[in-house]
């Protein structure tokens, strides 16, 4: 039996602007059979359902291509890698995946998690064991001694429970790709840069061009897309030359990078919410522990905005993602802030930003040709919102305005449920953020303003 959805405003995901009114029709198989003006819609047969969303803004379910289901709202690398068993992390990931759905996000990419956590969450949802978003899942990041996720000292290495898979050669990297493909990943994640810099401060790519091209070629030969972490210019350039599908960040791109992206068709997932939240949310008492990160992030954000505006003008596709899974980007909270940043800081119109979060982002997803756009033959994944995000893109951050969420036609109603973060994530010991020398104690007045000499 068909379901008919009467819409107040309808944005299909591939439009320049929404239309007034309109109707969606989908069957029991969860696929849309009609999208268009109500006057042209098929008549409602006896026994069919009509959903009156005629006061709401109906649009495709939103997509976040950067959600780490295994992180658990981490505060430290140890939180991510060490302090909870894999089994608990998988259960936790399922819980947090539902938080994402409640925020209006019907599809996500989990680009790099420990073990097979994201794959297991994906498969449990597909099997019907739990309600949740559509998950495009990667395995562990492939990294080198210079790459992101190799963040412990060399005498410790990369633990088996880490999100990173440290490889020592091109052959070892290719073998890891083959193992991950056998295990069922949808995409491969490569840590293309990390922490090493040249004397001038430029980030060094974690893999050279030959290694990068070999990994990307093998992954794509096996039918998998490739996403990379690449903030630096060199990592961005090598990735684009190799033809990766999606580049996270690309903050220091230059003309050579842009030319390579235009040629290869690589897209960018800027992930601006993560640095913006670091800048805006870090409190004064935390600054000592961050060791200048706030100031460095502020400078990088300005550089990123200028360079990403150039990429937008060059026609590089951009996809919305947030790096959700950290304490500063908790699940279900800030996904739609990326759209506001696209409009405010990168020069997109609200409609263009919505397309980045629907039709454009769907291009990277597994089975994405059925997602991201409301059209006959595609999945009936849609949300109904109170108010118009065209008039105010920030309203998508108000979860109370996300009135209805449908995946495959089924309306998901995720109950609000709190949790104790001290039992879920916060296992790493952080007792002090300052060094309490005699000079520092006196500077802070922690002895009632008395100096040490006066105490004698």
CA 161, CA 168: separation in Å to the nearest integer? 18
Question: Taking the domains of the chain in order of start, what are their residue ranges?
Answer: 62-367
pLDDT in tens, 104-121: 999 999 999 999 999 999
Nearest to 57 by CA among 94, 5, 113, 129: 5
The pTM for the full model equals 0.94
| Confidence check: pLDDT of 66 > 80 | yes
Quick check: 58 and 384 in contact, CB under 8 A? yes
pLDDT in tens, 152-176: 999 988 899 999 999 999 999 999 9
Q: What is the strand order of the sheet 225-230 is part of?
A: 164-166, 141-143, 187-191, 225-230, 246-249, 267-269
| Confidence check: pLDDT of 454 > 60 | no
pLDDT level of residue 237 (50, 70, 90 thresholds) = very high
pLDDT in tens, 317-348: 999 999 999 999 999 999 999 999 999 999 99
Report CA 167 to chain centroid distance, whole Å. 25
Please state, as a whole number, how many other Cβ atoms lie within 10 Å of the Cβ of residue 400.
7
Please state, as a whole number, how many other Cβ atoms lie within 10 Å of the Cβ of residue 48.
14
CA 333, CA 373: separation in Å to the nearest integer? 24
> What is 62-367's CATH number?
3.20.20.140
């Amino acid at each position: 039996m068909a379901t008919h959805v009467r819409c107040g405003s309808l944005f299909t995901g591939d439009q320049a602007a929404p239309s007034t009114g309109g109707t969606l029709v989908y069957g029991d198989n969860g696929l849309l059979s009609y999208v268009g003006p109500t006057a042209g819609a098929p008549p409602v047969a006896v026994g069919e359902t009509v959903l009156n969303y005629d006061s709401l803004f109906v649009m495709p379910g939103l997509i976040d291509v950067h959600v780490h289901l295994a992180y658990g709202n981490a505060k430290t690398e140890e939180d991510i890698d060490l302090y909870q068993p894999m089994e608990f992390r998988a259960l936790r990931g399922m819980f947090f995946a539902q938080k994402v759905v409640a925020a209006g996000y019907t599809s996500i990419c989990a680009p790099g998690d420990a073990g097979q956590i994201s794959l297991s969450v994906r498969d449990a949802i597909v099997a019907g064991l739990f309600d949740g978003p559509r998950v495009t899942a990667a395995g562990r990041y492939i990294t080198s001694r210079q790459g992101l996720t190799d963040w412990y000292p060399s005498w410790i290495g990369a633990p088996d429970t880490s999100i990173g898979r440290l490889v020592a050669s091109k052959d070892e990297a290719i073998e890891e790709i083959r193992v991950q493909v056998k295990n069922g990943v949808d995409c491969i994640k490569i840590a293309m840069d990390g922490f090493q810099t040249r004397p001038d401060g430029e980030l060094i790519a974690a893999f050279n061009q030959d290694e990068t091209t070999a990994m990307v070629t093998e992954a794509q030969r096996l039918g998998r897309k490739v996403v990379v972490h690449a903030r630096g210019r060199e990592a961005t350039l090598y990735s684009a030359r190799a033809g990766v599908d999606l580049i996270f960040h690309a903050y220091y791109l230059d003309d050579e990078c842009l030319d390579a992206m235009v040629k290869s068709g690589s897209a960018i997932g800027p992930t601006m919410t993560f640095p913006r939240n670091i800048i805006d949310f870090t409190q004064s008492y935390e600054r000592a522990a961050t060791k200048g990160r706030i100031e460095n992030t502020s400078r990088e954000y300005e550089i990123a905005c200028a360079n990403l505006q150039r990429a937008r003008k060059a026609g590089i596709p951009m996809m919305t993602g947030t790096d959700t899974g950290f304490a500063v980007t908790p699940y279900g909270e800030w996904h739609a802030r990326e759209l506001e940043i696209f409009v405010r800081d990168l020069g997109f119109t609200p409609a263009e930003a919505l397309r980045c979060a629907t039709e454009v982002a769907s291009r990277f997803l597994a089975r994405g040709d059925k997602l991201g756009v409301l059209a006959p033959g595609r999945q009936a994944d849609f949300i109904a919102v109170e108010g118009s995000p065209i008039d105010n893109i920030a309203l998508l951050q108000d979860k109370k305005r996300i009135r209805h969420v449908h995946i495959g036609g089924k309306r998901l109603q995720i109950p609000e449920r709190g949790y104790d973060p001290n039992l879920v994530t916060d296992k790493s010991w952080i007792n002090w953020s300052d060094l309490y020398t005699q000079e520092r104690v006196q500077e802070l007045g922690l002895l009632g303003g008395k100096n040490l000499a006066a105490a004698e």
